[in-house]
Each structure stands twice: as structure tokens, then as C-alpha cells.
Copies of this chain bind each other. A is one copy, B any other.
Amino acid sequence: MSYSIGEAAKMVGLTAHTLRFYDKEGLLPFVKKTSSGLRAFTESDIEWLKIIECLKGTGLPLKQIKQYIDWCMEGDATIPQRLNMFIEQKKRVEEQKAKWEKHLEKINFKIKYYEDAAQHGDLNVFERNPKLLEEKKKLFED
């Protein structure tokens, strides 16, 4: 059993247009076509799409995703490259997570700041609460 491009698209939360675009970019060399030329997505193809989504969702550009797919198609000789790619990606994700953590602290500060401001209808927050000013300096000093 297999899925049409529209069904596959729905299953992974993309559009058929996007899947065709990926195919054109060489990201879906594994997808076969029926005798009449329609793409037929297998369960295994859907898993490929999920891996692509995972890599795209963690910020890997399509070009590098294609590189990975190409390695997969080349066979066992490229296992070290593929392992290395995932190790690098893990590193990037963790760096990104750390960055977001820092950004989140700033956002939380701003929420505190504007909550006070909203309550009083003005921005004299630091005059009311000088400790917040210290906190701000720490958060934005780098």
C-alpha cells in the first residue's frame, strides 16, 4: 500500500507543492512513481520525510539535508559521515537551546517589567523597584 503526494503531505504537515519542490531539489530520490507517472509514497518514504522534518526543524538547510540523503543512497561507506552529521547537528541544537534559554530570561524580565508598568499605567518601573534595574543590567550586559 502506498500514499499519493497529497496524502503524504497531510501525514507530515506539508503541502504537495512543498513535497514536489523537495523532490525537484533532490531530497526525495527514494520516492518511486507508478506506471502512469504518479508519485507513490511508501511507509518507509514517510519515515524519510519525518527525518527530513526533524533536520529542517532544527535549522539544517535543505542543501545539507540533501547531502545526508545522498550519503544514505551511496551505501555503507558513508556511515561515518552520516554519524558525524548527526553529532554536529546535536551540537548545534544544544547551542541553540542555550541561546534560547538566555533569550527567554530576557523575555521573562520584560514580562515582569511590563506587568508592573501595566498595573500602574506608566513606565516608572525602576523608580518603584530599583532591584529590577540591577536585574536588567545583569541580563543585558553582554
Contacts and interface: CB of A to CB of B under 8 A. Distances in A.
Given A93-B100, A106-B51, A107-B89, A115 B58 contact: no
A58 B97 CA distance: 10
Interface in A62-94: 76, 79-80, 82-83, 86-87, 89-90, 93-94
A33 interface: no
Contacts of A138: none
B54 A103 contact: yes
B114 A90 contact: no
B58 A103 contact: yes
B82 A114 contact: yes
Interface residues of A, number: 36
Contacts of A40: none
Contacts of A123: 76, 79
A133 interface: no
A103 B57 CA distance: 8
Contacts of A14: none
Interface of A: 47, 50-51, 54, 57-58, 76, 79-80, 82-83, 86-87, 89-90, 93-94, 96-97, 99-100, 103-104, 106-108, 110-111, 114-115, 117-118, 121-123, 140
17 contacts: A51-B140, A54-B103, A57-B100, A58-B107, A76-B122, A79-B117, A79-B118, A79-B123, A80-B118, A83-B118, A86-B107, A86-B110, A86-B111, A93-B104, A96-B100, A97-B97, A97-B100
